[in-house]
């Protein structure tokens, strides 16, 4: 199959794509086009995109009826036209198979936290099960790491797409994990960022992946006590990793340094009184991650246009929408039997 792919960068603030002409009206949603794929043998277009609200929070659970599609044939000098789905069949896929999501869970097992190992195992097992049942990704991968006072971040299981392998690794956790009661929190964050950066390079080099995102979830009950890395190192590592990566943190107990929690939890900070409430904290994280991960969609279009470059605009029904514009070229279309999968 002959396949042409275009990467499109959309700057929502520079290109208003709302059907509302009042520039004083703040946009409700933004659509970022991630990728446009032209299947010339099928005369089909695949558009990967992300939908967020005015606060840049991902919007999940959208279907075909939630969007309008507009097209304009450039060669014919057309004005923009609302496309009837009966004329050009289309399908919104909320679970694109070319979408990868990678997440790391980084556990503090220093000091007295190790005494909570049963609560940690129980909550982590439920969290992983929920991730695999509720994240709409064709390829979800989870890694679990832990830290105490040692210089190096410790691997429980590296990125895996097998929920059973991950849960088996969790079940093997014990108090023997702790070798140094001190807390190398800054160093753990720095090394977690390094590991995620390496994973992101792997994902970006995958020719079969058009859209992806990631996250790191930390939980700790104490302050940094070792200084293999300092706070500036930690913040610099986070800043270098935030592209397409959400940072979430659960702080447990009364000894937590809330200013450090704020530095780490760029996308979500959740405080709990003790580790018996870890399930609650992880459920809050899961809700945040679901909104982010499940706001990625793929639109399949059987366009009626041929022999022309087409400018299109995708907009949410009834909501002012920024972004959502792109182009595709139908000059090389050879098929006349386009079907929606």
Q: 280-333, pLDDT tens digit by residue?
A: 999 999 998 888 888 889 899 998 888 899 999 999 999 999 999 999 999 988
CA distances from 190 to 31, 87, 197, 227, 280 (A): 32, 53, 11, 12, 26
Question: Closest Cα partner for 235 from 216, 260, 218?
Answer: 260
Structure tokens at 14: 């520079």
240 contacts 129 by C-beta, under 8 angstroms: no
3-state SS class at 200: helix
User: At residue 60, does pLDDT exceed 80?
Assistant: yes
Confidence band for 143, pLDDT divided at 50, 70 and 90? very high
* pTM attached to this predicted model: 0.80
**pLDDT, mean of residues 40-55:** 90
171 contacts 125 by C-beta, under 8 angstroms: yes
Give the per-residue pLDDT at 15. Answer: 35
User: At residue 14, does pLDDT exceed 50?
Assistant: no
CA distances from 195 to 54, 82, 163, 241, 324 (A): 31, 46, 20, 10, 32
> Among 110-114, 140-144, 220-224, which is the least confidently predicted range?
220-224
Half-sphere exposure of 262 (CA within 13 A, CB side): 3
Residue 49: strand pairing partners: 33, 297
Identify the structural domains of the chain with CATH numbers, from first to last: 3-94+295-329 (2.60.40), 99-293 (3.40.50.410)
For CA atoms 106, 112, 114, 120, the dihedral sign is: negative
Q: 259-287, pLDDT tens digit by residue?
A: 999 999 999 999 999 999 999 999 999 99
């Amino acid at each position: 199959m002959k396949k042409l792919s275009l990467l499109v960068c959309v700057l929502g603030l520079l290109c208003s794509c709302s059907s509302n002409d009042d520039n004083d009206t703040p946009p409700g949603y933004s659509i970022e086009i991630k990728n446009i794929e032209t299947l010339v043998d099928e005369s089909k277009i695949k558009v990967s995109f992300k939908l967020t609200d005015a606060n840049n929070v991902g919007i999940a659970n959208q279907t075909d009826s939630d969007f309008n599609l507009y097209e304009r044939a450039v060669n014919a000098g057309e004005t923009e036209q609302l496309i009837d789905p009966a004329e050009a069949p289309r399908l919104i896929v909320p679970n694109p198979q070319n979408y990868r999501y990678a997440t790391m869970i980084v556990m503090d097992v220093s000091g007295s936290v190790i005494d909570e190992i049963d609560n940690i195992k129980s909550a982590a097992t439920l969290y992983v099960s929920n991730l695999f049942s509720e994240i709409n990704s064709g390829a979800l991968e989870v890694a679990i790491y832990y830290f105490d006072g040692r210089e190096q971040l410790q691997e429980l299981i590296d990125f895996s797409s097998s929920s059973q392998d991950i849960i088996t690794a969790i079940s093997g956790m014990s108090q023997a994990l702790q070798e140094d009661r001190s807390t190398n929190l800054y160093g753990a964050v720095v090394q977690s960022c390094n590991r995620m950066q390496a994973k992101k390079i792997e994902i970006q080099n995958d020719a079969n992946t058009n859209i992806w995102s990631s996250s790191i979830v930390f939980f700790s009950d104490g302050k940094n006590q070792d200084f293999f890395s300092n706070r500036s190192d930690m913040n610099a590592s986070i800043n270098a990793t935030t592209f397409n990566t959400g940072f979430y943190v659960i702080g447990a107990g009364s000894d937590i340094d809330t200013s450090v929690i704020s530095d780490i939890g760029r996308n979500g900070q959740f405080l709990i009184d003790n580790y018996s409430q870890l399930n609650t904290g992880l459920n809050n994280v899961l809700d945040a991650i679901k909104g982010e991960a499940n706001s990625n969609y793929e639109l399949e279009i059987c366009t009626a246009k041929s022999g022309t470059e087409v400018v299109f605009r995708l907009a949410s029904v009834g909501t002012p929408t920024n972004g959502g514009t792109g182009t595709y070229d139908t000059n090389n279309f050879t098929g006349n039997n386009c079907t929606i999968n």
